[in-house]
């Protein structure tokens, strides 16, 4: 089959690579893609291309008709939608209406990510454990909620904010200022304990879990600075309690899928549960309706099962025929190389020099997130998160060393990265929480 992947970031390139390695997949097209699409194709000698280089250029991922048109032109039998914005805008509905299998939830089901308040309502109805919260429209309501839950304060924009909608602070004025800037907010109790991201491939009825991962949300070392879309990730979690994935499936994914079906809006796509493992048990921090970035760049290089077949089965409601996913017995780490200023006002246009492709280890990948070519054909930064540098190894420490060695081989003077991704886990410094 030929697969059209909609999006242009590191996540879409990790998806494209895993799809292209599936023997059932004969071609992958990333639209709009970025200069990294060709690099992947060149390096692995497998057909991955992007709309940047074709006559079909400049596809707008938010334009459902354009996505359908491109899928038809390519003869794609599966469309995989990467980012949340097209999902919330109903692009998956348009693709399905055109009779093409689509991996990605409907606009209604994507509200699990699109509205924090909707997600809270679904969780309440499904009995899924999550932080207590209040939905606030006025500053008076915000003040009451801040008083009720106390510091540290957690203030969330009710709507999509590109991973930057949440402020966690003990400074009440900062909490109030963020709430005022958001308009509609969800204020919730602070959840303590390590965070886990669990992704499940869902066909509306059944969910198939991927490996659990941990993401690093803050911009600065030792989890300081503002929240970002994610500065790094690793998988699997050596400190995870026994039976963690089964417990998340039972307490979170399965009841949520059942509740979404009950509402007449079955969830078909990737259900991403962001969880905190608190002393009182696991709690959902958030749902997303798509693969997480950068966890995907860490997780997918370990997948042995054919991703195309799995996503096609999910898109056609036939996951029942698919066995549990198989994984390589190694660890994987991804470090994000971001542009200076991210997540505020990233400095774009900075030159990037990558090591030659033939020097790459088979166990490292440089996925492009926000890159472009300038008029001279040189690679430049073109977004906040610029590169996702992934590596696999026999241990987390080995994967980490390999990822940082690959990062060190990149010359990107106007970029920065965190030096402590996966460090505590690699040093066995994260105690196993009791669930
Ligand atoms: P969200 O967009 O809801 O995932 O929030 C982004 C990040 O903010 C999470 O990954 C957490 O690190 C932090 N966060 C969100 N909600 C809470 C909470 N209730 N308690 C503590 N931290 C939170
Ligand atoms: N890794 C965080 C996200 O994708 O939202």
What separation in Å is there between the alpha carbon of 286 and the centre of ligand 1?
A: 7
| Confidence label for 52 from pLDDT (cuts 50, 70 and 90) | low
Mean pLDDT score of the chain: 94
Q: Which of 107-111, 178-182, 357-361 has the highest mean pLDDT?
A: 107-111
Q: Does position 53 have pLDDT exceeding 80, yes or no?
A: no
CB 160 within 8 A of CB 88: yes
| pLDDT tens sequence across 196-234 | 999 999 999 999 999 999 999 999 999 999 989 999 999
Percent of the chain with pLDDT over 90: 88
- Does 45 score more than 90 pLDDT? no
> Does 292 sit in the ligand 2 pocket, CB within 6 Å?
yes
pLDDT digits (tens, 9 = 90+) for 167-181: 999 999 999 999 999
pLDDT digits (tens, 9 = 90+) for 376-414: 999 999 999 999 999 999 999 999 999 999 999 999 999
Question: What pLDDT is stored for residue 28 in this prediction?
Answer: 94
400 to 106, 355, 356: CA distances (angstroms):
37, 18, 21
- Cβ-proximal residues to 377 (8 Å cutoff; 6+ apart), any chain: none
Counting from 1 in the atom list of ligand 1, the atom nearest the Cα of 274 is 4
Residue 51 has pLDDT above 70, yes or no: no
Residue with CA closest to ligand 2 atom 3: 292
Residue whose Cα lies nearest atom 5 of ligand 2: it is: 292
Which residue's C-alpha comes closest to atom 4 of ligand 1? 286
Q: Is 232 in the pocket of ligand 2 (CB under 6 A)?
A: no
pLDDT classification of 327: cutoffs 50, 70, 90: very high
What is the rounded average pLDDT of the residues 80-91? 97
Q: Can you give 216-275 as a three-state secondary structure string?
A: CCEEEHHHEEEECCCCEEEECCCCCCCCHHHHHHHHHHHHHHHHHHHCCCCCEEEEEEEE
Handedness of CA 410, 413, 414, 417 (dihedral sign): positive
CB 198 within 8 A of CB 282: no
Q: Is the CB of residue 64 below 6 angstroms from any atom belonging to ligand 2?
A: no
Mean pLDDT of 80-98: 98
């Amino acid at each position: 089959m030929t697969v059209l992947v909609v999006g242009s970031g590191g996540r879409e390139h990790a998806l494209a690579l895993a799809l292209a390695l599936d023997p059932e997949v004969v071609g992958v097209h990333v639209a709009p893609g970025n200069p990294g699409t060709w690099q992947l194709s060149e390096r692995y000698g497998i057909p991955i291309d992007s709309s940047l280089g074709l006559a079909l250029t400049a596809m707008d991922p938010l334009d459902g008709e354009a996505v359908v048109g491109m899928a038809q032109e390519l003869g794609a039998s599966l469309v995989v939608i990467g980012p949340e914005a097209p999902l919330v805008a109903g692009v998956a509905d348009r693709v399905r209406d055109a009779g093409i299998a689509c991996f990605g939830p409907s606009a209604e089901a994507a509200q699990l990510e699109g509205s924090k308040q909707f997600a809270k309502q679904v969780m309440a109805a499904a009995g899924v454990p999550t932080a207590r919260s209040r939905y606030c429209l006025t500053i008076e309501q915000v003040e009451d909620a801040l008083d009720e839950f106390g510091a540290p304060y957690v203030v969330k924009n009710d709507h999509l904010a590109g991973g930057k909608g949440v402020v966690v602070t003990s400074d009440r004025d900062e909490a109030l200022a963020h709430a005022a800037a958001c308009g509609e907010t969800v204020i919730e109790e602070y959840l303590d304990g390590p965070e886990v991201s669990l992704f499940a491939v869902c066909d509306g009825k059944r969910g198939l879990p991927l490996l659990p991962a941990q993401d690093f949300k803050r911009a600065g070392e030792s989890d300081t600075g503002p929240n970002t879309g994610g500065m790094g990730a690793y998988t699997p979690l050596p400190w995870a309690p026994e039976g963690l994935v089964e417990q998340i499936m039972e307490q979170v994914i399965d009841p949520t899928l059942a509740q979404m079906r009950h509402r007449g809006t079955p969830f078909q796509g990737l259900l991403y549960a962001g969880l905190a493992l608190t002393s009182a048990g696991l709690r959902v921090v958030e749902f997303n309706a798509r693969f997480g970035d950068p966890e995907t760049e860490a997780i997918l290089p370990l997948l042995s099962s054919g991703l195309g077949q799995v996503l096609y089965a999910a898109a056609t409601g036939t996951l029942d025929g698919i066995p549990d996913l198989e994984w390589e017995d190694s660890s994987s780490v991804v470090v994000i190389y971001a542009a200076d200023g991210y997540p505020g006002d990233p400095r774009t246009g900075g030159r990037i020099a990558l090591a030659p492709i033939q020097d790459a280890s088979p166990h490292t990948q440089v996925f492009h997130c926000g890159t472009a070519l300038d008029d001279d054909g040189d690679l430049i930064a073109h977004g906040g998160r610029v590169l996702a540098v992934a590596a696999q190894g026999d241990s987390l420490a080995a994967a980490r060393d390999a990822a940082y060695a690959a990062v060190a081989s990149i010359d990107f003077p106007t970029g920065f990265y965190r030096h402590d991704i996966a460090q505590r886990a690699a040093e066995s410094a994260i105690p196993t929480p009791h669930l």
